[in-house]
Amino acid sequence: MLGLNKADLRLFLIVIAMLVFAPILLNPFPDTSGMAQFNAGYPDLMQKLVIFGIFAIGFNILFGLTGYLSFGHAAFLGIGSYTGVWMMKLLTMNVIPALIASVVVAGAVSLLIGYVSLRRSGIYFSILTLAFAQMFYSLAYSVLTPITGGESGLSLSTDDPRIFGVQATDGGNIPVPTVFGLDMSHAVTLDFGAWSFTISTGYYFAAIIMALAFYLAVRIFRSPFGLMLRAVKSNQNRMNYTGLNPRPYTLAAFVISGMYAGLAGGLMVAMDPLAGAERMLWTASGEVVLMTILGGAGTLIGPILGAGLIKYLESIVSTINDSVVHGWFAPLPDWLENTLVTVLHPFIGKGWHLTLGLVFVLVVCFLPGGIVEGGKKLGNLFRRKRSNGDAPTPGTGSTTAEQPGE
């Protein structure tokens, strides 16, 4: 079905179910509960999870399949954002043309950068991509200021020469991004007892795009092209000896990965029509590397899980302060309450990066394959326990001899 085998189809359906029911799954605690602090089912965060999931899926096509580690993919994210805003300024507030232009322009730039960078491999390739990204970041603040808006960033205004659509609403405001006439910022809140679930047009549009992006990634992974990329990662010298030139394959993977990043950048401005050079900063490139490694490089769903974990920590743990922690431990004796708050203080609020660093260290040390490897180990553990529970007990008359260690 859909050209996928049973395992991939099951995984694809799981991803779709996660996207459809995200407003419910990410709001497990009642709004009146003290644990509501950890709910993540609001539109802004859900959109962020989906957009960076797309970014990580694309990066995984390059890094996970070929082993080429790029430290400059944020450049394509920023280029996609700038292109999307310009399409809204010049053409229409419909986000579809903006997304198409973001993908095309990011693909063209990635073709140029990839053609130069892929002349080298290993750490030299990584440094080249980092250098290109920093050059674009610096240009956005200097020479390209008329295009990028410089430090103020690029945004919409009522003076934009929009060909299709109005420059301003009847109230004198800037028009909002739309998709087929639907306001991207429109949201409906559904109340069920103590729970509130927000259904957002922008989120579900981004979720549809992510489902399509994930499906395309699955097809790439299972295609002969994907096998060639794995061969590049496995032994590039052996490919050269057989007469196969790996550069066209790695360049194609680099361009596809850059187009995914451009799509993510275009979706960012579809939700909030503002673009800034900070999206090209090297830390943004490092973030997508962390997402892919945390989730599981070379796996299909790993980058999505890694992106979700990092953005969850950024949005939830960073909002927790000492007063919230005091509320958690209020029933305890004062000395124990203050001790626990003191211990947790460096890991919350502005110190959420310390929590992320600790999680990353634990994953790398104990789960080199990322979150996906942890899930596989848990699955194997449960299967082993179930098989042990089904094993014949002594005296049942079984003729099967038990093997040592089983």
What is the per-residue pLDDT for 159?
86
Look at residue 213 and tell me if it is in a domain: yes
Q: What does the alpha-carbon distance between residue 260 and residue 258 come to, in Å, rounded to a whole number? A: 5
Strands 154-155 and 178-179 come out as unpaired
Tokens of 154: 């690029």
Tokens of 145: 């200021």
Q: What is the CA radius of gyration of the chain?
A: 24
154 lies in which domain range? 6-319
- Write the CATH number for 187: 1.10.3470
Which backbone phi and psi does 166 adopt, to 5 degrees?
-95, 155
Alpha-helix residue ranges (DSSP H) falling in 91-241: 95-117, 122-141, 145-148, 201-222, 224-234, 236-241
Strands 195-200 and 187-192 come out as antiparallel
Look at residue 18 and tell me if it is in a domain: yes
Look at residue 140 and tell me if it is in a domain: yes
Look at residue 391 and tell me if it is in a domain: no
Long-range CB pairs of 315-318 (<8 Å, 24+ gap) are 315/40, 315/45, 315/48, 316/37, 316/38, 316/40, 317/347, 317/348, 317/352, 317/355, 318/348, 318/349, 318/350, 318/352
- What's the whole-model pTM score? 0.91
Among all chains, which residue has been given the structure tokens 């203050």? 338
Identify which of 37, 41, 31 has the alpha carbon closest to the alpha carbon of residue 326: 37
Q: What does the alpha-carbon distance between residue 51 and residue 53 come to, in Å, rounded to a whole number? A: 5
Look at residue 72 and tell me if it is in a domain: yes
Q: How far, rounded to the nearest angstrom, does the alpha carbon of residue 136 sit from its chain's CA centroid?
A: 22
Look at residue 387 and tell me if it is in a domain: no
Q: What does the alpha-carbon distance between residue 74 and residue 190 come to, in Å, rounded to a whole number? A: 36
Tokens of 323: 């007063």
Domain count, the chain: 1
What is the per-residue pLDDT for 173?
84
Look at residue 363 and tell me if it is in a domain: no
Look at residue 388 and tell me if it is in a domain: no
Stretches in the chain below the pLDDT threshold 50: 397-406
